[in-house]
Amino acid sequence: MIVQPNRDSIQAASNALLAGQLVVLPTETVYGLAADIRNETAIASIFRLKGRPNDNPLIVHLHDQSQAKFVARELPDRFFQLAERFWPGPLSIVLPKHRVLSKSITAGGETVAIRIPDHPVTLGVMSSANLMLAMPSANPFMSLSPTRADLVSHEIESGVWGILDGGASKVGIESTVLDLSDQQPSILRVGIVSRQEIEDCLSEYIQTGGDSTKSPGQYRRHYAPRTKAVLVTEFSQNAHGISFSEPKTDHIILAGHDPHEYAKNLYAALAELDTLGVEVIEILCPPETEEWAPIWDRITKAATPL
Ligand code: AMP
Ligand code: MG
């Protein structure tokens, strides 16, 4: 059930979470499937409902920076610099976990990823009961992340208290994941918060894609439509697909001229093309520059065959 957010429904969603139910909540990245981090049964339901492998850790969402000390063991200076600059926002920070935090959230590991999402509805749900939420994207494992309430699948909808409708996600792709649990900070997943911005904030060099064993859940195929997707340097005749420049036919969706606008529209465009029953979705290769790196990451994964 899609629920319009107001004072009563935000309170009701918060109560449902406290009672151990799952709720789909809007964030600026994508819609999330939320559970109270203290409720083991609810955490287990997230993995079951998504069909998510147990070795893929969940990001813990806070509504206030001061909650970080309850889930992370150490908060280095870098953490405070980044949190001041980028939160609320699409940057998840990996830190050594606090001993009380359940390992079912961290997939058995000793680190936890945390962030404050930038959406008033979800911040309202959390702050009304001082909640911290484990919240992966609200999609079945491997499939497209929903960026609007109506794009959440019936499978997911059937297992939750409700879907709070917070409009279209304004970032549109998953958060940047930055690992601070080692001496040398490194980006484990690229996103809209860029390496350059992180380097400017910390005044130091940042590695990308460092140690792949530290980045569980980075599967080769991910974020994919059911229809076969391919990357092309030129559209075929009568192609159905996605472009970053003015399309010449009605069957091509212009996702955006720049990577930010493109990120915002990408998943909805793939979802729309997925309903057409076409054989192939063609995705025009964007420029090979660093600012397009998060788009390259997502479209490459979408186009990796099963
Ligand atoms: P999402 O797909 O948005 O639910 O984000 C979860 C992803 O964040 C995982 O698949 C990992 O790639 C990353 N992640 C979450 N927690 C950790 C962690 N403790 N260490 C490294 N990466 C993590
Ligand atoms: Mg996901």
Mean pLDDT of 91-108: 97
59 Cβ below 6 A of ligand 1: yes
* Most informative mutation of 188, 190, 221, 301 for ligand 1 (most atoms within 8 A of CB): 188
Predicted confidence (pLDDT) at residue 205 exceeds the cutoff of 90? yes
pLDDT in tens, 114-146: 999 999 999 999 999 999 999 999 999 988 999
From the centroid of its chain, how far is CA 280?
25
* Atom 12 (ligand 1) nearest CA: 217
Cα 245 to middle of ligand 2, angstroms: 27
Query: Confidence class of residue 304 from pLDDT cuts 50, 70 and 90?
Result: confident
pLDDT (0 to 100) of residue 223? 76
Atom of ligand 1 nearest to the CA of 136: 4
15 membership: H or E segment, kind and range: helix 7-18
pLDDT (0 to 100) of residue 247? 83
Cα 302 to middle of ligand 2, angstroms: 13
Mean pLDDT of 279-305: 95
d(Cα 117, Cα 199) in Å, to the nearest integer?
21
DSSP assignment of 139-189 equals S-TTBPPPSSGGGS-HHHHTTSS-EE---S-SS-SPPEEEE-SSSS-EEEE
pLDDT in tens, 228-241: 999 999 999 999 99
Mean pLDDT of 13-34: 98
297 Cβ below 6 A of ligand 1: no
Cα 235 to middle of ligand 1, angstroms: 34
Q: What is the percentage of the chain residues whose pLDDT exceeds 70? A: 98
pLDDT (0 to 100) of residue 221? 75
Cα 141 to middle of ligand 2, angstroms: 7
- The ligand minimizing its distance to the Cα of 115 is 1
Residue 234 per-residue DSSP state: S
Query: Confidence class of residue 210 from pLDDT cuts 50, 70 and 90?
Result: low
Contacts 24+ apart (CB under 8 A), 258-264: 258/291, 259/192, 259/286, 259/291, 259/292, 259/294, 259/295, 260/171, 260/192, 262/286, 262/295, 263/171, 263/172, 263/173, 263/192, 263/294, 263/295, 263/298, 264/147, 264/168, 264/169, 264/170, 264/171, 264/172
pLDDT (0 to 100) of residue 70? 98
Q: Which residue has the tokens 């980044």?
A: 82
pLDDT (0 to 100) of residue 46? 98
Cα 215 to middle of ligand 1, angstroms: 7
pTM of the entire predicted model? 0.96
Atom of ligand 1 nearest to the CA of 189: 12
pLDDT (0 to 100) of residue 287? 97
Give, in order, the Cα–Cα distances in Å from 65 to each of 38, 107, 171.
18, 23, 21
- The ligand minimizing its distance to the Cα of 217 is 1
Cis peptide bond N-terminal to 216, omega within 30: no
Cα 155 to middle of ligand 2, angstroms: 15
56 Cβ below 6 A of ligand 1: yes
Q: Tally Cβ neighbours within 10 Å of residue 232.
A: 14
Residue 54 φ/ψ region, left for φ over 0, alpha for ψ in the -120 to 50 degree band, beta for the rest: alpha
d(Cα 229, Cα 303) in Å, to the nearest integer?
5
